[in-house]
Amino acid sequence: MLEKLKFYKSKVLDFYERHEVLVSMSVFVAGFLFDLLTLGRIDDIFNLIQQAVYLVILGTLLILEIRITYSKLELSLKGKQFWQYHNLIVHFLFGSLLSVYTIFYYTSASALTSLLFIGLLAGLMLANEIEQFQKIGVPVRVTLYAICVLSYFSFFYPILMGHIGQIPFWLGVSTSAFLLALIWKFNFNSSTSSQSLKTHVLYPGIIVHLAFILGYYTSFIPPVPVAIKKIGIYYDVKKIDGKYIGLHLRPFWKFWGQGSSHFEAREGDKIVVLTSIFSPTDFKDKVYLKWFYDDPNEGWSLRDSIPLSILGGRDAGFRGFGSKSHFEYGDWRVIIETSDEREVGRINFSVTQEAHLGTREFKEDIY
């Protein structure tokens, strides 16, 4: 039996050595899929603790890797046996954490912002697997780790404080920077560290934090933990037995949509935007429904801004709506912004005059 175990072990080791990049990427994908399938609410205490544990393990392995690479740290025989597999652990943990943050960022942003942010994360992870970039693998991992730590605290403080804004944001940035500064001070003495160590370890962390601040004030960073669950344009909204019912005239074949993307108006109609917005338990904040009209002379111009208070805790999201009775025919857009002016969602629709003034048979969307 022992001989068979040694035989299979040698086979596994041989396969790993010959296909290290493939195995590493497979483990990364496994970590991504694992959290994708097991992911709960953003404010779930188990998820928050799990992410913190992952960050501690990743930070410990990253410190060891930096010491081995730049300080020529010598491992014991058992340490060397473990270290040859540390990449698998690192890739699984990065895959797990990045899946969580990518999903949360995606659900809290407009399509363009989401794609750019996801593209950034995917590009950095891919760079770590390309042979030409492996020589600078530590800076890539430091960058990814700094993004993960920043993301964790950018979620943590709004959940803890019950609102988003500059105070939770700066608390998150400050906590992340403080923790990484402590790691640097107690593990890499800046007075004796080499320039290459500063270039590959210290500067990437600083750059990530500066980029994150810039991203916040340019609305590139999505407003996690607020997320649009559903949004649609309706002729009227009724509340019956705790349900919000939106009345629309959407054709049956547009089964994938919500409400009426083509609003045929007659005299006395009002345009109603109905939405459900997810936020954590005990979360209290405001969003603004900003109505833009594509003016033939001025282009897209703001016509109205309607505040909407939201309360967190409901899995399907807090339901609310705003209406507009005075409007022009043409193209419209409603952008939902958080209290710190970051876009969380939008909907485009057109308004035309109804050609046939017959009886309208409204259909219903339930929120």
Go through the domains of the chain in sequence order and give each one's CATH number: 2-217 (no CATH), 227-366 (2.60.40.1930)
What distance separates the 2 farthest-apart alpha carbons in the chain? 86
Q: What is the pLDDT of residue 246?
A: 97
Q: What is the pLDDT of residue 309?
A: 93
Cis peptide before 225 (omega within 30 of 0): yes
Please, are residues 321 and 307 in contact by the beta-carbon 8 Å criterion?
no
Residue type, 286: K
Output the CA torsion sign for 324, 328, 329, 330: negative
- Which of 40-44, 47-51, 74-78, 194-198 is most confident? 47-51
In which band, very low, low, confident or very high, does the pLDDT at 111 lie, cut at 50, 70 and 90? low
Q: What is the pLDDT of residue 127?
A: 62
In which band, very low, low, confident or very high, does the pLDDT at 124 lie, cut at 50, 70 and 90? low
DSSP, res 74 = P
Name the helix (H) or strand (E) containing 350: strand 343-353
Look up tokens 């290290």; give the residue.
20
Residue environment code for 228-254, b if the CB has 16+ CB neighbours within 10 A, otherwise e = bbbbbbbbebeeeeeebbbbbbbeeee
Q: What is the pLDDT of residue 28?
A: 62
| Chain centroid, CA 199 distance in Å | 28
Crossing angle of the two packed helices 111-127 and 137-161, in degrees rounded to 10: 140
Q: What is the mean pLDDT of residues 104-130?
A: 68
In which band, very low, low, confident or very high, does the pLDDT at 122 lie, cut at 50, 70 and 90? low
Q: Is-above-0.85 flag for pTM?
A: no
279: its two tokens: 């936020």
